[in-house]
Amino acid sequence: MGGDAAFEVAGGTVTGTDHLAAGRPNQDAYAFRIEGGCLAAVVCDGCGSGARSEVGAALGARIVTEQVLGALGRGGDIESPETWEEVRRGALAPLRAAAGAMGGRLAEVVSTFFLFTVVGLAISGDRACVFSLGDGLIALGDDLLRLGPFPGNEPPYLGYGLLDRPPGGEAPRFTVHRAFPASALRAALLGTDGAVDLLESSARQIPGGGGEVGPLSRFWEDDRYFRNPDAVRRRLALINRNVARPVWKEERMDREGGLLRDDTTLVVVRRSPRQRD
């Protein structure tokens, strides 16, 4: 949970049921920060085939957030390709140093630790934008952007820029999907690709009771998610819990599984109630 006079931010993440069944960790991460009139928020999803890609996702979320704040704080134009190239190169520098310090073949280190997608929101003064490098979900109020899926379920990764020969021959760049006046932003939700399961489960019942999952707008309309720093995670965990209840007359167990197969991570940004018209 966090915020300044203009915006409030909340986030949370939960491990997908497929990952739990396979004994794999949550490979998602998120970060957000507000400084000097600028806001940056990012969700990252580690490559599923990378044995330890949660490492890159966790580092990447923090590093990309700081690079966005740094570029904007130095006066970078939020809509300029040069600004986002500065962010990309700035984020790759510490990742390259970490990968080089780990020893072994660079390509192997990158594929194991440093492949992750990025979905983000940036605000600088009177301008704002949403951006990505890879797949995921963005909601700007009722304006919904589903990013991906990509051919072969292989999204571009920031970490490909660490390789001398990235797939496709060229390192992928950030894409700015929407740029708009900051005053027009009422609410934004950033999600990893697991959030698509959340979106598509809106009319389903939460396992074990608790009512309907409900629309994404619940996360920015309900004040509890901004008062309690664990509230987003708790809601996602409730939606994704496995429930077993005995059916005594039939001498069996009735089992309900969680609704989110993939790791699911959200960051929600909304205009502070004090700043609304």
CA 137 – CA 3 distance, rounded (Å): 22
pTM for this structure? 0.94
CA 209 – CA 221 distance, rounded (Å): 22
Q: Is the pLDDT of residue 264 over 90?
A: yes
Handedness of CA 123, 128, 132, 136 (dihedral sign): positive
Using DSSP bridges, classify how beta strands 28-35 and 7-14 pair: parallel, antiparallel or unpaired: unpaired
CA 51 – CA 68 distance, rounded (Å): 28
Task: Give per-residue burial for 154-166: e unless 16+ CB within 10 Å, then b.
Answer: ebbbbbbbbbeeb
pLDDT at 153: 86
Segment 157-169, tens digit of pLDDT: 999 999 999 998 8
- Output the six-digit token pair for 162: 């660490």
> What angle do the packed helices 106-113 and 53-73 form, to 10 degrees?
90
Peptide bond into 149 cis (omega under 30): yes
Segment 68-78, tens digit of pLDDT: 999 999 999 99
Q: Is the pLDDT of residue 12 over 50?
A: yes
Other CB atoms within 10 Å distance of the CB of residue 170? 10
pLDDT at 1: 45
Helix residue ranges per DSSP H, 74-216: 81-101, 106-113, 195-200
